[in-house]
C-alpha cells in the first residue's frame, strides 16, 4: 500500500516570487512535432491492439528524432533541397499469437496524418522522410502485459511531479502561442508560420514577452513587405497581451531581424517549421504535459509523449500528478499552491505507488484540521480510478505537450 507524506510549507508561491520564467514551444516547433507525432502513434497502436486483442500491448514510441532538412528560401518562394527526416524509435509489439500488427504502416500513416492536419504547407510525401526503427520489446517488459489483472505493474522505478494552479505568467505564455496558432489568427495573417516560440519573464508584476514566428516566403515579396507584415502581426500580438493581468507588458518580436540584409536578415520559412533547414527536434525537449516549460517549478525527467498508457509510469504519473494537484487545489479551501510527487517501484501495480508526497502552500482560509484525511481521500480517489484513467490515456484524451 502506498504511503502519503504531507508537508505544509511556508515557501513563497511562484506567482509571488520576484522573477518567473516560462517558455512554450508551438505547433511547428521541431520538439513539439516529435512529442505530438510519437504520442499520436502510441494512441493509434493502442487503438489497434484493443481492437484486435482486447488490451493494450507493449509499446513505447518515445524515442523520436526529427532531423532538419535543407531548403532554398527567396522572397516570393523557394524549394526543398533535402527533405526533413523523422526517425521513429524504441519498442512495439509486432505479433501476438498468430496475428501480426502493421506497426510500420500505422506509424507512417499517423505521421503523415499529423503533418497534413497541423502543418498545411508541408507535403509529407515529398518534404518528409519517415524511418521506422521500432523493434520488439524485451521479454521482461513484454511479460508485464501477459500477467492477469486489469491493473498493470509499473515497468520502471521512476518519479513524477505536478502542480497547481498555473500562474498568470504560465497562462499568458500558453495562451499567446495558442492565439498565434489559432485558426482565426492564420485567417487574418495567412503569412504566419506555425513554428511559434514564446518566452516570458515576469519581474514583479511586469511581463516581458519574446515571440518568434516565421513568415512564409510565398507571401513575402521583398524586405519592405516583410517589415510591413511584421508590424501588423506585432500590433495584433501586443493588443492580445494588453488584456492580461499585469501592470505592464512589453513585447519583443523576431528580434534577430536586421534591415538591409535581405533574406538573410529576416525570419522566413518555406514550410512553416524551422525543421525545414535550421533546427532538429527530439522527444522530451518540448513542453511539459500542462503545456509550458516553467523554470521556477520542479520538473521530472520523464518524457510522457509516446510511452504506453497502461504500465509506463513516465506517462501515467506525469499526467496524473497534475490532475491530482488541480483537484486538491479546487476542492480544499485556502490552498495557494500545491505540488504532488508520485514515486513508482518497478513490478508494483501502478495504482500502488511506493510513495506520495504532497506539498501545500497555505493561504489565509487554510485549515490544517483534517487536512491529511482530505488529501488522502482525494489521492485515493484518483488511484482507485486508475484503470479508467489509463483508458483515457490510451484514447489520447489527455494532451502531453
Q: Quick: pLDDT tens for 364-384.
A: 889 999 999 999 999 999 999
Q: Is residue 211 part of a domain?
A: yes
pTM for this entry: 0.95
Location of C-alpha cell 532554398: 72
Query: Residues with Cβ < 8 Å from 3, sequence gap 6 or more?
Result: 354, 355, 356
Q: What is the pLDDT of residues 282-307, one digit of tens each?
A: 999 999 999 999 999 999 989 999 99
CA distance 394 to 47: 7
Q: Is residue 255 part of a domain?
A: yes
Rounded to a whole number of angstroms, the distance between the first and last alpha carbons of the chain is 31
Q: Is residue 268 part of a domain?
A: yes
Q: In the prediction, which pLDDT does 147 show? A: 67
Q: Would you say 375 and 359 are in contact if contact means Cβ atoms under 8 Å apart?
A: no
CATH number at residue 177: 3.30.300.340
Q: What is the pLDDT of residues 79-115, one digit of tens each?
A: 999 999 999 999 999 998 899 999 999 999 999 999 9
| Backbone phi and psi for residue 153, each to the nearest 5 degrees, phi listed first | -85, 155
CA distance 14 to 165: 10
- Give just the sign of the alpha carbon dihedral 353, 290, 25, 79: positive
DSSP state of 102: -
Nearest CA to 294 out of 359, 182, 199 is that of: 199
Q: Is residue 338 part of a domain?
A: no
CA distance 390 to 401: 17
Q: Is residue 77 part of a domain?
A: no
Location of C-alpha cell 484525511: 373
- Give just the sign of the alpha carbon dihedral 41, 130, 126, 82: positive
Query: If DSSP codes are grouped into helix, strand and coil, which group holds residue 112?
Result: helix
Q: Is residue 95 part of a domain?
A: no
Q: Which domain range does residue 195 map to?
A: 15-25+170-282
Number of domains in the chain: 1
Pairing state of beta strands 128-132 and 99-100? unpaired
CA distance 248 to 175: 17
Low-confidence ranges of the chain (pLDDT < 70): 1-2, 138-148
Give the gyration radius of the chain's Cα atoms. Answer: 23
DSSP state of 260: T
Q: Is residue 51 part of a domain?
A: no
CA distance 329 to 316: 20
CA distance 6 to 357: 6
Q: Is residue 20 part of a domain?
A: yes
Q: In the prediction, which pLDDT does 149 show? A: 72
Q: In the prediction, which pLDDT does 57 show? A: 94
Give Dmax (Cα) for the chain: 68
Q: In the prediction, which pLDDT does 299 show? A: 93
Amino acid at each position: 500500500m502506498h504511503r502519503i507524506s504531507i508537508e505544509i510549507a511556508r515557501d513563497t508561491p511562484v506567482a509571488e516570487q520576484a522573477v518567473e520564467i516560462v517558455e512554450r514551444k508551438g505547433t511547428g516547433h521541431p520538439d513539439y512535432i516529435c512529442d505530438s507525432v510519437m504520442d499520436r502513434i502510441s494512441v493509434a497502436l493502442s487503438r489497434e491492439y484493443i481492437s484486435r486483442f482486447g488490451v493494450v500491448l507493449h509499446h513505447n514510441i518515445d524515442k523520436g528524432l526529427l532531423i532538419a532538412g535543407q531548403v532554398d528560401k527567396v522572397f516570393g518562394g523557394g524549394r526543398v533541397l533535402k527533405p526533413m527526416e523523422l526517425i521513429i524509435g524504441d519498442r512495439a509489439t509486432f505479433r501476438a499469437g498468430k496475428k501480426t500488427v502493421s506497426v510500420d504502416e500505422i506509424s507512417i500513416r499517423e505521421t503523415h496524418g499529423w503533418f497534413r492536419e497541423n502543418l498545411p504547407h508541408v507535403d509529407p510525401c515529398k518534404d518528409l522522410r519517415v524511418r521506422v526503427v521500432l523493434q520488439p520489446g524485451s521479454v521482461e517488459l513484454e511479460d508485464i502485459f501477459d500477467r492477469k489483472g486489469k491493473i498493470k505493474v509499473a515497468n520502471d522505478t521512476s518519479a513524477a511531479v505536478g502542480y497547481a494552479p498555473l500562474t498568470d505568467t504560465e497562462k499568458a505564455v500558453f495562451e499567446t502561442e495558442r492565439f498565434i496558432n489559432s485558426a482565426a489568427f492564420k485567417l487574418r495573417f495567412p503569412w504566419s508560420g506555425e513554428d511559434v516560440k514564446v518566452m516570458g519573464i515576469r519581474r514583479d508584476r511586469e511581463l516581458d514577452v519574446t515571440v518568434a514566428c516565421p513568415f512564409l516566403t510565398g507571401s513575402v515579396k521583398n524586405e519592405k513587405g516583410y517589415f510591413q507584415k511584421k508590424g501588423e502581426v506585432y500590433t495584433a500580438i501586443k493588443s492580445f497581451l494588453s488584456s492580461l493581468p499585469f501592470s505592464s507588458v512589453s513585447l519583443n518580436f523576431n528580434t534577430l531581424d536586421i534591415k538591409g540584409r535581405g533574406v538573410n536578415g529576416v525570419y522566413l520559412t518555406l514550410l512553416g517549421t524551422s525543421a525545414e533547414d535550421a533546427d532538429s527536434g527530439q522527444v522530451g525537449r518540448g513542453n511539459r504535459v500542462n503545456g509550458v516549460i516553467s523554470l521556477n517549478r520542479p520538473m521530472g525527467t520523464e518524457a510522457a509523449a509516446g510511452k504506453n498508457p497502461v504500465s509506463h509510469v513516465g506517462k501515467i504519473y506525469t499526467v496524473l500528478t497534475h490532475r491530482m494537484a488541480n483537484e486538491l487545489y479546487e476542492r480544499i479551501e485556502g490552498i495557494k499552491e500545491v505540488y504532488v510527487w508520485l514515486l513508482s517501484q518497478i513490478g508494483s501495480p501502478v495504482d500502488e505507488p511506493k510513495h506520495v508526497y504532497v506539498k501545500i502552500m497555505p493561504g489565509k482560509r487554510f485549515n490544517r484540521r483534517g487536512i491529511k484525511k482530505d488529501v488522502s481521500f482525494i489521492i485515493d480517489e484518483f488511484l482507485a480510478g486508475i484503470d479508467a484513467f489509463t483508458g483515457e490515456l490510451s484514447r489520447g484524451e489527455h494532451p502531453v505537450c
